[in-house]
Structure 1
Amino acid sequence: MKTYIQLLLLFIIAQLVSCEDVVDVEVQNGPTRLVVEASINWEKGTSGNVQTIKLRSSTPFFNTASNPVTGATVVVINNANDETYNFVDQNNGEYRTTTFEPVLGQSYSLQIIHDGDVYSATETMTSVADITEVFQDTEDGFEDDVLEVHIAFTDPIEMGNNYLFRFQREGDLLPDLEVAEDEFVNGNAIDWWYEIEEDEDNNILPFAPGDIVAIEMFGISKDYYNYINILIEQLGGVGLFEATPVAVRGNCINETNPENYPFGYFRLTEVVRTSYTFVEE
């Protein structure tokens, strides 16, 4: 009887294993589009004359290869005086100029000619406040006794200032991005803090003494704030009750064929950069 039961269990297990089917999920690929990385960043205290714009073509979701676009014509125009800055093809997807002249509050236009299509965008060079202090603490974060870095600055008195923060700990593969607006803090001193939450599954540890974090604070337009805020939310992943990530349209358009619109954004920002090394408390 015992032998019969054992054989019956083996038969049931074999049937369960054999019933597992491999399901191939076909992921539909959208049309290939031009991807524009046109961030004109003017670091305070520099001339800002050297600028780079990157072009590539989009790839399928599971394809990690980069497809640089070469052979395009890329120019940026100062809309006040029609001064034109030619970005020279570096034959690797990068287009560079060494003669750019940034002017705060000035409107600029981007024009790209590629594969018979004309792409364009317009944006204004946006200023940023000065960082007055960088320090560490453990009082304001989500976790007690976890180190956080603080950035102190004073928001300008005029309404409508928007900020992009970029934090990257030395040795980490990717940076973290955060955005802020001055709707409720206009004209006030601001203490912006950032911490890293522990994630054992992905081997992510909080800040520790000796860690060095690079910090960038950009002044950005309201339109770019809205754009990058959506992207940051989508970078957080898709949970059970969250919306499925979708392609986010930037400010670049295809004048020749509007349906073949590009991805990416043309932005002009002033930026302050600093770093902080954590110490034992």
Structure 2
Amino acid sequence: MQKLEKYNFKNKAFALLSLLFILFFSSCEDVVTLDLEAGDEKIVVDAEIIWLKGTTGNEQLIKISKTAPYYNNTTPKVSGAQVRIENSIGDVFVFTEKEPGSYVCTNFVPVINMDYTLFVTAEGQSFTAVEKLTSVTPIDKIEQEIVPDFGGEDVIEVTYYFKDPADEVNFYLTDYQSDFLIFPNYELTDDDFLNGNEINIRFSDEDKIKPGTILNITHRGISKNFCNYMNLLLEVYGGSPFSIPPGNIRGNIVNASDSNNFAFGYFRLCEADKVSYVVK
């Protein structure tokens, strides 16, 4: 009987300690909102001129917004801006606001290796940037295979191939988009050790790629400077650099009157090949 009473006492003590343990860690699940200091509000210019192979490239879009506090669920749009691009032979392409913060041009003329200058006037500030339109070789083929992941589980891996041009330095940016990806997944490549050869780029996502999945692959040619900028973004934000504003990384968009008050974003011009692949 004494032994039974001792056992019951231990059980009661263990139960009490367990309850206190659960209550303690449950109290640790409360959401803590930090009082973060808001930085200076800045203009953000999302200016990608992308010329998809097989199109004229005449329709282009530039988005202008402002930075916002960390806990804001929306991005402030900038309306009433004046936006234009000029090429090196004097042609001017005007972008017209179609909805708040979105500026559209319908007569743009893309020319490989031509220099283009972006001009933006927004909220009393003038910004400018210069970049060259970079070419890209097309995707030759896409293959898939079953490979083991880090845990030894079999996953589907999709690989696309393209021929790198010889006797020139090339940089590439790939983005993958699919229903299972909240944001596009980005990957940078260069021809440092593969100049003039066939290059293959692989993509897998654990068990999320299944037969019937549609994977949209956009393969861009980019400049070395934009490659360096994107490399910094990917190091800081992982595979989704535009999931939050790149507030601490400076692009090529400068303020014409105050160099310290630059805009966030990068003006880039890319030829691209886009393929929609249905996983088998």
**TM-score per shorter chain, which class?**
0.7 to 0.9
Measured in 2, the distance between the counterparts of 1:31 and 1:231 equals 20
CA RMSD in angstroms comes to 2.8
Identity of aligned residues (%): 37
1-side partners of 2:149 and 2:214: how far apart?
Answer: 18
Structure-1 separation of matches of 2:77 and 2:247:
23
Residue 206 of structure 1: CA displacement? 3.1
Q: Does 1:117 align with 2:135?
A: no
**Given that residues 161 and 199 in structure 2 are in contact (C-alpha distance below 8 angstroms), is that contact kept between their aligned partners in structure 1?**
yes
Structure 1 counterpart of 2:225, from 214, 223, 226: 223
> What's the CA shift string for 1:176-207, capped at 9, x where partnerless?
1000011111100111111113xxxxxxx331
Judge conservation of contact 1:71–1:91 (CA < 8 Å) in 2. no
Give aligned pairs, total. 258
Shift of the alpha carbon at 1:175?
1.4
Structure 2 matches for 1:1-281, cutoff 5 A? Answer: 25-79=34-88, 81-139=89-147, 145-197=154-206, 205-236=207-238, 247-279=248-280
Distance, in Å, in 1 between the alignment partners of 2:110 and 2:265 is 21
Matched residue type, 2:249: V
Query: Counterpart of 1:258 in structure 2: which amino acid?
Result: S
List runs of 5+ in structure 1 lacking aligned partners: 198-204, 238-244
Residues 140, 101 of structure 1: alpha-carbon distance in 2 compared, 3 angstrom cutoff: farther
Q: What letter is aligned with 1:154?
A: K
Distance 2:32 2:108 in 1: 54
Q: TM (normalized to structure 1)?
A: 0.83
CA distance in 2, matches of 1:91, 1:208: 37
User: Could you tell me how far 1:139 is from its partner in structure 2?
Assistant: 4.2
Query: Does the CA-based 8 Å contact 2:50-2:272 persist in structure 1?
Result: yes
CA deviations on 1:22-43 (whole Å, 9 max, x unpaired) are: 9763211111100000000000
Structure 2 portions without partners, runs of 5+: 1-9, 240-245
> How far off is 1:255 after superposition?
1.1
Runs of 4+ in structure 1 displaced over 4 angstroms?
19-24, 139-144
Query: TM-score of the superposition, structure 2-length normalised?
Result: 0.84
| In 1, Cα distance between equivalents of 2:122 and 2:77 | 12
Q: Deviations over 1:245-266 (max 9, x none)?
A: 9711000000122222110010
